[in-house]
Amino acid sequence: MKDLILTIVKPLVDHPDDVHIDIEDGSNGVTYQLSVHPEDMGKVIGKQGRVAKSIRTVVYAAAGSSQQKKIFLEIVE
């Protein structure tokens, strides 16, 4: 899942080397915390959050029912 997120996000940003994903495995699910360069935050979120919503839709669809735990994607500063 981490590779999928990186594949989607890296072409969107100007600083692809600053894209990092931290994984937190909790009792209610797995949370992927995406952090990007501050200048790229607007590109990842998009107007009215449309890009972020699209990224989440693709990630959640890819996880589907193959995962036992629920998947969450957070975009952090």
Residue 3 has pLDDT above 90, yes or no: yes
Q: What is the pTM of this model?
A: 0.87
Q: Domains along the chain? A: 2-76 (3.30.300.20)
For 19-60, write each residue's pLDDT tens digit: 999 999 988 889 999 999 999 999 999 999 999 999 999 998
Burial class (CB in 10 A: 0-12, 13-18, 19+), 38: exposed
